[in-house]
Chains A and B, each alone.
Chain A
Amino acid sequence: MTATLQQAGPAIAAGPAPTPGRRRPRSSATRQRIEVVLLVGPALLLFLGFVILPVILAAVYSLYNLPPAFRWEQLAEPDRFVGLANYQRAFDSPEFVRAIGNNFIILFASLLIQGPLAIGIALLLNRPLRGRTALRLLIFVPYVLAEVIAGLAWKLLLQPQGGVNAMLESLGLGFLQQNWLADPGIALWTLFWILTWKYLGFAIILMLAGLQGVPEELAEAAAIDGASWWQIQRYITIPLLGPTIRIWAFLSMIGALQLFDMVWVTVAPTVRGMATETMATYMVQQGQFAGQPGYGSAIAVILFFISLTVALIYQRVALRRDLAGAVTRGVR
């Protein structure tokens, strides 16, 4: 290897221009390979060590019944290997099944409520408007805030004696007061409101960016043909916004399935267990706090496969056109 390097070196430094017809001399290709190895190697090692290896380990652990803070040697102990019993237990557990349900409620609510809302606001903000930049900025601020800070702020505001109830009271709407985060009947929707507040800005910015790619000429031509503003949006702008909407939906779905931090921060453990448990919080609760790393790993693997399945299906059904176009035609 070293020898190759030494030979390659001078050939490039002093050699004449590459012979026509052979665009890449062999020595240059070797050098390029070494560069790739050296540049990609460290990142690849990190990726293997901190992403791929843990995924494999989780799959292994999920087949065992392990005590908290276990040692490696304990994997070899008799009776530790339980096969698929952890998976069986997960699907038999009403808590976990409910957690999956909560994830999908949030997923569909995000798509059905946040999507149209974001498109609507983006269309409005795309028109000439006084203070448009300031408005866009304000809408994007929640997304920039750290999750924990936003969560804690809402947690304080939504306490029984918190700001939201106080505001309702002073507006004469006292009858609307709720234990927003303490009532298992509404906690999931309170949580969904916080998530919407937090992530709507991101969706709107995406849609606005997508709108920049819609040629104005089309709208002008339609206007000359007598189309109303509504008709232009309905038949021209929104269809052309399709790729952006589909990508946003994809990100939103993945986010909904992996949801953890906002739930963990804002909802008290008791109410979380009753009403807003997600797959990820259930995994941490059981794997870490109930001291069952094997069971927790099984939940992690299930979560992984559910996310993967949803992503693959969505990719085949909805994203195929967008991605295929990008690859085969080489245009954006």
Chain B
Amino acid sequence: MNRRSTTRLVTFAAATGLAVASLTGCAGGGGDEGGDGEVTLTWWHNGTTGPLPEVWEEVATEFEESHPGVTVEQTGYQNEDLQRTLIPNALAAGDPPDLFQVWPGGELRDQVENGYLMPLDDVIPDTIDSVGATVNPWQVEGTTYGIPFTFGIEGFWYNTDLFEEAGIDAPPTTLDELIDAVGALRDAGITPIAVGAGDKWPAAHWWYQFALHSCSPETLQAAETEYDFSDDCWVDAGDQLEEFLGIDPFQEGFLGTPAQQGAGSSAGLVANGEAAMELMGHWNAGVIGGLTPDQQVPEFLGWFPFPGIEGSAGDPTAALGGGDGFACSAEAPPECAELLEFIMSEDVQAKFAASGAGIPTVPAATSSLEDPNLTLVAEGLAASSFVQLWFDTAFGTTVGNAMNDGIVNLFGGSGTPDEIVTKMQDAAATL
């Protein structure tokens, strides 16, 4: 055999190998539908702590019982791992789970643009109607691709005992009162506010709040649709945050503190009485409950909305919030939509509400809320004139990431309010 035939042999082997690999690649993925009507649905969600995993497990079991031949494989993953790594990779690899968590705003738009998601309007229209306007962030150009099962707003989770100890009678309703409360807590030797700045986004939410209360709703709209951050209010937000950081409201070493993992996290500090409050989303009661020694939501926990800022252009009753929704992958079997319909049924929503895992989106289920704090959040949500989606979600990954980087630099003392806006504009320019 001369050299040429050796080369030919190698080429042949390589070609065969590649062909085999691509064939097996094509065979994988999609809804694994067996020949005898057996269907396996894979379902990825973010229920890893608190009561949520148990709720989803029951939902899966009940759905299997009422749908013979259907197997539901549900798995909970840590939220950011799921959002940033697992789902993007599974989608890009062409082998996504059937039912999975979707985040509204920029990410949903990207996924729809790539044809990854199943349009739901013709499949389960009644379910979509049942949640009303809450579904809007999960729509792209009028078509619904996901349905939120929980939606809530951000506010302060605080320790009523520590507030009492510091002589604070009522939760602050204005920024000045909040600043006074921070001072009173410091004087009493209590860490006023815990922030999980190590994870970036919990720190960024502070800036979001200042921006929400500084910018008019029209400005916010222009930012979301046209990436227009030219209004002065975006820089004002950073100025206000810088001033607020000046009163030293946070725990020691906050730049390294994670938000949710372990007793040393910001939620853990509140859970164990080592910090008086934390600005965090509606899910926080469950997280705090999971970090106490007895795994129960502590008695002392209370909630109040972010106070309005006197004399600012923003709507004082606007709130910052978001929700969790599920979507079916484009190639999922029809049973996927049925499972989603079941998850959104009033029974399951009521069970979800009763478990204390979050605030349901089906209005009729709200009355099943037992947790007094979630009831407060639900009332706050109802009282809000409008709810702005978390900015990092609303602006999409690229701008959101640059924005959060700019904000944590300000937290760390190495950035300026102008730089935050510059970073956002630079990132938007790369889109």
Decide: B252 and A160 in contact? CB cutoff 8 A.
yes
19 sample A-B contacts, Cβ–Cβ < 8 Å, listed by A number: A37-B10, A42-B17, A67-B114, A69-B89, A69-B92, A71-B114, A159-B256, A183-B253, A183-B256, A268-B197, A268-B198, A268-B258, A270-B203, A270-B412, A273-B408, A273-B409, A274-B412, A288-B84, A291-B110
A179 at interface by CB-CB < 8 Å: yes
Decide: A179 and B253 in contact? CB cutoff 8 A.
yes
B6 at interface by CB-CB < 8 Å: yes
Contact partners of B252 in chain A: CB under 8 A? 160, 179
A89 at interface by CB-CB < 8 Å: yes
Decide: B110 and A268 in contact? CB cutoff 8 A.
no
Complex CA–CA separation, A34 to B256 (angstroms)? 58
Decide: B254 and A182 in contact? CB cutoff 8 A.
yes
Q: Which of A30, A68, A74, A95 has the most CB of B within 10 A?
A: A68
A305 at interface by CB-CB < 8 Å: no
Complex CA–CA separation, A68 to B113 (angstroms)? 11
Decide: B1 and A1 in contact? CB cutoff 8 A.
yes
Interface string of A253-280 (1 = CB under 8 A from B): 0000000000000011111011000000
Please give me the residue from chain A that is nearest to B21 by CB atom. A49
Contact partners of A95 in chain B: CB under 8 A? 405
Number of interface residues of A (CB under 8 A): 43
B414 at interface by CB-CB < 8 Å: yes
Binds A, one of B179-187, B303-311, B394-402: B394-402
Q: How many A-B residue pairs have CB under 8 A?
A: 126
B111 at interface by CB-CB < 8 Å: yes
Question: B251 to nearest A CB, angstroms?
Answer: 8
Q: Known contacts being A45-B17, A69-B110, A269-B198, is A183 close to B5, with CB within 8 Å?
A: no
Please give me the residue from chain B that is nearest to A48 by CB atom. B14
Interface string of A31-74 (1 = CB under 8 A from B): 00110010001101100110000000000000001011111001
Question: B21 to nearest A CB, angstroms?
Answer: 7
B24 at interface by CB-CB < 8 Å: no
Contact partners of A271 in chain B: CB under 8 A? 198, 255-256, 412
B264 at interface by CB-CB < 8 Å: yes
Chain A 226-267 residues near chain B, CB threshold 8 A: 267
Question: B100 to nearest A CB, angstroms?
Answer: 12
Question: B203 to nearest A CB, angstroms?
Answer: 7
Decide: A69 and B256 in contact? CB cutoff 8 A.
no
Decide: B13 and A37 in contact? CB cutoff 8 A.
yes
Decide: A45 and B414 in contact? CB cutoff 8 A.
no
Complex CA–CA separation, A139 to B236 (angstroms)? 55
Q: Which of A4, A67, A288 has the most CB of B within 10 A?
A: A67
**What 9 A-B pairs have minimum CB-CB distances, sorted nearest first?**
A182-B256, A268-B198, A291-B397, A179-B253, A182-B253, A290-B401, A69-B88, A69-B92, A160-B253
A181 at interface by CB-CB < 8 Å: yes
A108 at interface by CB-CB < 8 Å: no
B430 at interface by CB-CB < 8 Å: yes
A304 at interface by CB-CB < 8 Å: no
Contact partners of B405 in chain A: CB under 8 A? 95, 273
Please give me the residue from chain B that is nearest to A161 by CB atom. B264
Q: Known contacts being A37-B9, A37-B10, A69-B88, is A270 close to B253, with CB within 8 Å?
A: no
Interface string of B90-104 (1 = CB under 8 A from A): 011000000000000
A292 at interface by CB-CB < 8 Å: yes
Please give me the residue from chain B that is nearest to A40 by CB atom. B10
Decide: B84 and A269 in contact? CB cutoff 8 A.
no
Chain B 247-268 residues near chain A, CB threshold 8 A: 252-258, 264
Decide: B1 and A292 in contact? CB cutoff 8 A.
no
Complex CA–CA separation, A51 to B123 (angstroms)? 44
Please give me the residue from chain B that is nearest to A184 by CB atom. B412
Contact partners of B91 in chain A: CB under 8 A? 69
B85 at interface by CB-CB < 8 Å: yes
Contact partners of B402 in chain A: CB under 8 A? 290
Decide: A181 and B256 in contact? CB cutoff 8 A.
yes
Contact partners of B412 in chain A: CB under 8 A? 184, 270-271, 274
B205 at interface by CB-CB < 8 Å: no
Complex CA–CA separation, A184 to B256 (angstroms)? 9
A91 at interface by CB-CB < 8 Å: no
A289 at interface by CB-CB < 8 Å: yes
Partner of B13, one of A4, A45, A268: A45
Complex CA–CA separation, A71 to B116 (angstroms)? 10
Interface string of B188-212 (1 = CB under 8 A from A): 0000000001111001000000000
B283 at interface by CB-CB < 8 Å: no
Contact partners of A295 in chain B: CB under 8 A? 430
Q: Known contacts being A71-B114, A179-B252, is A184 close to B258, with CB within 8 Å?
A: no
Q: A182-B254, A289-B397, A291-B110 are in contact. List 19 more A-B contacts (CB 8 A).
A: A30-B1, A45-B17, A65-B430, A69-B92, A69-B114, A70-B92, A71-B92, A71-B114, A74-B114, A161-B264, A183-B253, A183-B256, A184-B414, A270-B199, A270-B203, A270-B411, A271-B256, A273-B409, A290-B401
Complex CA–CA separation, A285 to B110 (angstroms)? 19
Complex CA–CA separation, A70 to B111 (angstroms)? 9
Decide: B430 and A292 in contact? CB cutoff 8 A.
yes
Complex CA–CA separation, A41 to B84 (angstroms)? 37
Complex CA–CA separation, A88 to B316 (angstroms)? 43
Decide: B408 and A270 in contact? CB cutoff 8 A.
yes
Complex CA–CA separation, A267 to B197 (angstroms)? 12
Contact partners of A74 in chain B: CB under 8 A? 114
Contact partners of A4 in chain B: CB under 8 A? 1
Question: A155 to nearest B CB, angstroms?
Answer: 9
Please give me the residue from chain A that is nearest to B94 by CB atom. A71
Contact partners of A187 in chain B: CB under 8 A? 256
Q: Known contacts being A65-B430, A67-B113, A181-B256, is A290 close to B264, with CB within 8 Å?
A: no
Complex CA–CA separation, A4 to B1 (angstroms)? 7
Chain B 404-428 residues near chain A, CB threshold 8 A: 405, 408-409, 411-412, 414, 427
Complex CA–CA separation, A270 to B410 (angstroms)? 11
Contact partners of B408 in chain A: CB under 8 A? 270, 273-274
Q: Known contacts being A49-B21, A159-B264, is A290 close to B397, with CB within 8 Å?
A: yes
Complex CA–CA separation, A295 to B401 (angstroms)? 14
